[in-house]
Amino acid sequence: MVEQIAQVDSTYLIGGTNWVGRPVPSHCSALGKVLLAYGAAQLSIGPLERRTDKTITSEAALRTDLATVRARGYAVTDEELEPGLIAVAAPIRGYDGAVIAALSVSGPTTRMNRDGLPAVAGYCAEEAAALSAVLGYRQRGARQSRKVGAA
């Protein structure tokens, strides 16, 4: 299970539920998939709960999905938790690089769809990286900027 600790509500009248404090299965939430993919959470023992007809219920299929999360750097759930709900999430890293949390953006499929997900995921990943930097994480291979003439 994964639980949100904070939420910013939409300005739209039709928006998401307040998920703060409401545990949901990790395997069918974008936040949970990020935490599972990077080893920050463990899958519950037992069968994977089917929440919708799109929920991943096979551990093999979930492992494949989690590999995709690691490869692209963000997770997607498209009506896996609840019909009409789509979400992306990106990892937040601590100073040592370990994933310690995730940041997500979700909305109704009538407004947020697969075509626009890469852009939304990009913004989400940028903000997650900024939060990681505040926590002291420095991405390997990131160039340090130097002033011209500085030693």
Domain 26-134 has CATH 3.30.565.10: no
**Confidence grade of residue 20 (pLDDT, cut at 50, 70, 90):** low
Task: Answer yes or no: is pLDDT of 6 > 60.
Answer: no
Lowest mean pLDDT among 11-25, 49-63, 76-90, 133-147: 11-25
Q: Model confidence over 41-51: pLDDT tens digits? A: 999 899 999 99
**Confidence grade of residue 102 (pLDDT, cut at 50, 70, 90):** very high
Long-range (24+ apart) CB contacts under 8 A made by 102-108 are 102/30, 102/31, 102/34, 102/35, 102/75, 102/128, 103/127, 103/128, 103/131, 104/29, 104/30, 104/31, 104/34, 106/16, 106/30, 107/10, 107/15, 107/16, 108/14, 108/15, 108/16, 108/84
Q: Model confidence over 85-101: pLDDT tens digits? A: 999 999 999 999 999 99
